[in-house]
Amino acid sequence: MSQRIAVIPGDGIGNEVIPESIRALEAAARRFDLQLDFRHFDFASCDYYLNHGRMLPEDWKEQLGGFDALLFGAVGMPEKVPDHISLWGSLLQFRRHFDQYINLRPCKLMPGIRSPLAGREPGDIDFYVVRENTEGEYSSVGGKMFEGTEREVVIQDTVMTRIGIDRVLKYAFELASRRPRRKLTSATKSNGISITMPYWDERVQEMSEHYPNIDVDKFHIDILTANFVLHPDWFDVVVASNLFGDILSDLGPACTGTIGVAPSANINPEHRFPSLFEPVHGSAPDIYGRNIANPIGQIWCGAMMLEHLGHEKAGQAMLDGIEAVLAAGSDQAPLTPDLGGQGTTSELGEAIADAIRDGD
């Protein structure tokens, strides 16, 4: 059966790293006999906005809704279009309307990459941050009164629903049960935030009763951030509300080195809508056009996408290909300048595709 993939490079280096992700995906498809059918779209980019006065066509949901997954580059060219317009007009629409309620980020220290944390080796850092992606602290409930007077008041409410919490917890527990350590950490702050966070803890407790094999612990968000830095080896799957997850999902990958290698996924686990796979980095206007962007984050997105589509072996082979090339080091492999090498985007992409092809 063929998988239909919508490819949306967006802006800047999105256009340089997407072709390398496709090259790697095609190598994996050939090796594992998968049918991947790519279709390219030019919307969700600032050039599209300048031509059409909007980031997306009116019927974008119809155009994209039937795809199995969206492979996304990056959006934003602040010199052409303000960031809040380009981001709200594209990526955030996808996340919201396709009910991508899981934001998933692997935090894995790869061979050949120096962690900013002293003395950490590959194997020491290997966990996932699972962030609730639709509600919580990022609500639109609230308002402003008496604006411009001494009585000025602003209120923004946190919205947590049982459905919203339970579905992200279920995803995180399921993920933890597929991993060898079977460990789940919950981010809370029930000592300070005295209504929603105790409720979050209650739901974690109840969900954990369905997963007796999982070792569960929880930390308040303040000490949890410290422990990401001090003891990253403690973690396996970390689950968090929207705000806490936002913070942790930047901190986690930052502990594993360059931004150029980090992937992320916005997932609708039921496959009712396509899920979206995008690197953590943005469009990097400062290096765009020089063919030196690191394509690994985007290639790793392809691996996560295959895993989500049920092709775990092919996804793992892509990750193995990335690790093999990184382990070879800049003497043997055309690593990009951010990794200390002198390779180009396309040379590194080609080396990884070759490693995926030769992996068996």
**Of the listed pieces 109-117, 217-225, 274-282, 322-330, which binds ligand NAI according to CB under 6 A?**
274-282
In the complex, what is the shortest distance from the CB of residue 336 to ligand NAI, in angstroms, rounded to a whole number?
A: 6
Task: Match 């303040």 to its residue by tokens.
Answer: 222
Please choose, from the candidates 66, 56, 71, the residue with its C-alpha nearest in 3D space to the C-alpha of residue 9. 71
Binding site for Mg ion (CB under 5 A): 246, 250
Task: Match 């968000």 to its residue by tokens.
Answer: 221
**Minimum CB distance to ligand NAI smaller for 246 or for 278:** 278
In the complex, what is the shortest distance from the CB of residue 266 to Mg ion, in angstroms, rounded to a whole number?
A: 12
Residues 107 and 312: their CA atoms lie apart, in Å, by: 18
Beta partners for 278? Answer: 264
Residues 119 and 115: their CA atoms lie apart, in Å, by: 8
Kindly identify the residues of this chain, within the stretch 315-354, that bind ligand NAI according to CB under 6 A.
338
**Minimum CB distance to Mg ion smaller for 99 or for 246:** 246
The size of the interface with ligand NAI (CB under 6 A), counted in residues, is 22
Which partner in Mg ion, ligand NAI, none is near 297 (CB below 5 to 8 A by kind)?
ligand NAI
Which partner in ligand NAI, Mg ion, none is near 286 (CB below 5 to 8 A by kind)?
ligand NAI
Beta partners for 40? Answer: 7
**Minimum CB distance to ligand NAI smaller for 24 or for 91:** 91
Residues 350 and 224: their CA atoms lie apart, in Å, by: 39
- 356 CB burial (10 A radius; 0-12, 13-18, 19+): buried
In the complex, what is the shortest distance from the CB of residue 245 to Mg ion, in angstroms, rounded to a whole number?
A: 9
Q: Does 246 bind ligand NAI (CB under 6 A)?
A: no
Which partner in Mg ion, ligand NAI, none is near 246 (CB below 5 to 8 A by kind)?
Mg ion
Phi, psi of 155 (to 5 degrees): -135, 135
Could you tell me where the beta strands, DSSP code E, fall in 139-190? 142-145, 153-156, 183-188
Alpha-carbon distances of 257 from 107, 204, 223, 308, rounded to whole Å? 10, 31, 22, 25
Phi, psi of 304 (to 5 degrees): -65, -35
**Minimum CB distance to Mg ion smaller for 36 or for 129:** 129
In the complex, what is the shortest distance from the CB of residue 115 to ligand NAI, in angstroms, rounded to a whole number?
A: 17
**Minimum CB distance to Mg ion smaller for 91 or for 169:** 91
In the complex, what is the shortest distance from the CB of residue 246 to Mg ion, in angstroms, rounded to a whole number?
A: 5
Which partner in ligand NAI, Mg ion, none is near 111 (CB below 5 to 8 A by kind)?
none
Output the six-digit token pair for 128: 């996932």
**Minimum CB distance to Mg ion smaller for 264 or for 345:** 264
**Minimum CB distance to ligand NAI smaller for 186 or for 334:** 334
Question: CA dihedral defined by 4, 22, 246, 46, rounded to 10 degrees?
Answer: -90
Kindly identify the residues of this chain, within the stretch 6-35, that bind ligand NAI according to CB under 6 A.
13
Residues 300 and 21: their CA atoms lie apart, in Å, by: 8
The helix (H) or strand (E) run that includes residue 291 is none
Query: Cβ(285)–Cβ(339) under 8 Å?
Result: no
Residues 240 and 249: their CA atoms lie apart, in Å, by: 10
Kindly identify the residues of this chain, within the stretch 60-119, that bind ligand NAI according to CB under 6 A.
74-76, 78, 83, 87, 91
Kindly identify the residues of this chain, within the stretch 275-314, that bind ligand NAI according to CB under 6 A.
278, 281-287, 293-294, 297
**Binding residues for ligand NAI, per CB under 6 A?**
13, 74-76, 78, 83, 87, 91, 259-260, 278, 281-287, 293-294, 297, 338
